[in-house]
């Protein structure tokens, strides 16, 4: 039986739900589709306050996405130290940072040509 293809918009909504379920903060969606030679269409960036919360956010995203879309990340990096966890869902790459690490790398500025949408938590 073939797996039902999930739209990118649906995947983004489910990922954001997973972040909000464990109080991830400062959620931003970067639309990279207008930029040449990008590795994906979207970045979702959020922050946690500790290693424990960053790990909880990453775990929540995986759980919610798996449950609602039957999808799993193609690749996950950074769970060993939980300062910056990167989750690759092919068209959507999720970055879960501790605040000070996010400030240091400032990837929003690196991708300054992207259309950035701030997600307001409910």
1-22 pLDDT per residue, tens: 445 577 999 999 999 999 999 9
Evaluated on CA atoms 64, 56, 59, 102, the torsion sign reads positive
Question: Which candidate, 56, 58, 50, places its Cα nearest to that of 99?
Answer: 50
35-81: pLDDT as tens digits: 998 989 999 999 999 999 999 999 999 999 999 999 999 999 999 99
């Amino acid at each position: 039986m073939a797996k039902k293809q999930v739209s990118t918009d649906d995947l983004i909504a489910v990922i954001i739900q997973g972040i909000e379920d464990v109080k991830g903060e400062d959620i931003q969606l970067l639309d990279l589709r207008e930029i040449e030679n990008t590795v994906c269409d979207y970045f979702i960036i959020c922050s946690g306050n500790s290693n424990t919360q960053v790990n909880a956010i990453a775990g929540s995203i995986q759980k919610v996405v798996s449950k609602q879309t039957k999808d799993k990340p193609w690749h996950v990096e950074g769970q060993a130290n939980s300062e910056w966890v990167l989750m690759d869902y092919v068209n959507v790459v999720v970055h879960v940072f501790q605040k000070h690490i996010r400030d240091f790398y400032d990837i929003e500025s690196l991708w300054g040509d992207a259309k950035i949408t701030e997600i307001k938590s409910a």
